[in-house]
Structure 1
Amino acid sequence: MTADARAAEAVTSHGTTPAMLAVEGLVVGYSGAPVIDGMQLRLPPGQVVALLGANGAGKTTLLRTVSGLVAPRSGRVRLDGEDVTQTTVEDRARRGLAQVPEGHSIVTELTVDENLHLGGLWRLPGTKARRAAVDEMYQTFEPLARRRASLGHQLSGGERQMLALARALIARPRVLLLDEPSLGLAPRVVAQLFAILRDAAERTGLTVLLAEQNVTSALSIADRGVVVSLGAIVADAPAEKIAADPALRHAYLGF
């Protein structure tokens, strides 16, 4: 079976479930051959999907296209059934799409508290609502509560990633995109962050697309694993099935 046929089969298998996020026939490229070639993907509400593959497979390009940072050559991006392909990054954020890019996404010159309040501006009108959301984040990320007056550049790597995730969650998004959130972090911190993601999906119905090189950790919290190679989906299956397939792991995931 070709990669395109496998991708079509994967879409069909999820086609009866309403999609909170969908990409349809997506083709993306910067120059020359496309980085993403005809990709189809559907994510239902409340599902955590691990986006897996080697460096250069197209994972980051997919996330940047979904968030609006990169314009596709063709195809569509839909958020809760609505075509957002031609909308801006800011408009997608207002509609409930949030992204935590690789390398954190905080303002290092601002304090933890200021970063969190800034994160709520898009979706939380009013000071009272933002204050309540900030307090909720301090309960969820206890280390941040102790560092609320610290500047971003004074935080450890783990604390910065916590702040980046808290900034995204504080806006109460419907869809969250994450690019390599475990990079450079201690296993204990990774486990804590991933547990928070799993809890958010189950408790609030948050849809999560998680691009991650730490395959074992990602699959441990994911409902599905989607393996990408050369811009095409080569496997889309329950996380436990992906983890248990040695041929797939050796061919595309490097372990």
Structure 2
Amino acid sequence: MSALLEVRGLTVGYGGAPVLRDVDLDVPAGSIVALVGANGAGKTTLLRTLSALVPLTRGSVRLAGQDLAGVSVEDRVRRGLAHVPEGRGVVAELTVDENLRLGGLWRGPDRRAAVAEVYELFEPLARRRDNPGHQLSGGERQMLALGRALVARPTVLLLDEPSLGLAPRVVAQIMGVLRSLADRTGLTVLLAEQNVVGALSVADHGVVLGLGEVVASRPAHELAADDRLRHAYLGF
């Protein structure tokens, strides 16, 4: 399986202090890759760098074989890269429907169908389509943030800590939707999570970050079964 998203030698620092060092990462088309590690390992910085929100010091990022050097945040989205940051960010004053349509502004006539697909995936959003964002529960806001990214019809979805602060039932629903989308539509997902068990349960492959470096990269089921890695880097 070819890599749709390729990262080579990625090094990133803040104020001269390195946060990521020589990170190599492949995300094959149609797969879910779980990026796991302790808090502060560099997971969020990696996703933000892939989205051009943080500049890289050296290294390269390629999407579908094309180098993304110098490509803006907006153009990366147009090329198929969507990023759902940590924190369930939605526009609180806008309704659910308005938030979703906002995610597909540049798609034109295709936007209506994409919004309808999100309502099929997340039935709670369909029931609350006319409610403003500030009236939603935490789980509903996470569904809305994810749905807004999906309306853009991405080929690669970068998802940062979607389970943070959510009930296990909601986490299971979100993880199930990701697995279903990867299997049915070929969506490619890079999932950064501290919920290691949940992430590895739906992922095809796992990458462990430790202090800004890749310390392991293996099939997800192998990582979950490795007692040494689990105790040293994953906390379970």
* TM-score interval, normalised by the smaller of the two chains: over 0.9
1:143 corresponds to 2:142: no
What runs of 5+ residues in structure 1 fail to find an aligned partner?
Answer: 1-16
CA deviation digits over 1:80-121, x for unaligned, max 9? 110012111000000000011000121111000000111111
1:34 offset after TM fit, Å? 1.0
Aligned residues of 1:76 and 1:85 also touching (Cα < 8 A):
yes
- Equivalence for 1:238: 219
2:63 maps to 79
Equivalent residue pairs, number? 236
| Separation in structure 2 between the aligned mates of residue 138 and residue 214 of structure 1, nearest angstrom | 26
Find the counterpart in structure 1 of residue 198 from structure 2: 217
Report what 1:54 is aligned to.
38
CA offsets 1:196-241 (integer angstroms, 9 cap, x no match)? 0011111111110101011111011000110001111100001110
What SS does the aligned partner of 2:34 have? Answer: strand
Which of residues 129, 142, 162 in structure 2 aligns to 1:181? 162
**1:59 and 1:246 mapped to 2: Cα distance?**
22
Q: Secondary structure at the match of 1:220?
A: helix
How far apart in 2 are the matches of 1:18 and 1:71? 26
Question: So what's the TM-score if we normalise by structure 1?
Answer: 0.91
Per-residue Cα deviation, 1:47-66 (whole angstroms, up to 9, x for no partner) = 10110111111100000000
Asked if residue 203 in structure 1 is aligned to residue 187 in structure 2, the reply is no
- 2:108 is aligned, of 95, 110, 125, to 125
Contact kept? 1:112, 1:163, Cα under 8 Å: yes
CA distance in 2, matches of 1:40, 1:59: 13
Partner of 1:97: 81
2:152 paired with 1:152: no
Question: In 1, distance between residues paired with 2:185 and 2:201?
Answer: 19
Q: What corresponds to 1:10 in structure 2? A: none
CA drift of 1:33 comes to 2.7
Distance 2:130 2:150 in 1: 20
Tell me the distance in 1 between the aligned counterparts of 2:36 and 2:69: 23
Alpha-carbon displacement from aligned partner over 1:16-41 (angstroms, at most 9, x marks no partner): x4211011111100123311111111
Percent identity, aligned pairs only? 68
Structure 1 counterpart of 2:11: 27
Q: Which residue of 1 is the match for residue 144 of structure 2?
A: 163
CA RMSD of superposed structures (Å): 0.9
Contact 1:68 1:85 in 2 (8 A): no
The Cα of 1:170 is off from its aligned counterpart by: 1.3
Q: Which residue of 2 aligns with 1:40?
A: 24
- Cα drift, residue 131 of structure 1: 1.4
Residues 114, 150 of structure 2: 8 Å contact kept: no
> Helix, strand or coil: the match of 1:76?
strand
- 1:124-171 CA distance string (max 9 Å, x none): 222xx2112111111111000110000001100000000001011111
Following TM superposition, the consecutive aligned residue runs of length 4 or more in structure 1 with deviations greater than 3 angstroms are none
Q: Distance in 1 between matches of 2:81 and 2:2?
A: 17
Q: Secondary structure at the match of 1:29?
A: strand
For structure 2, the 5+ residue unaligned runs are none
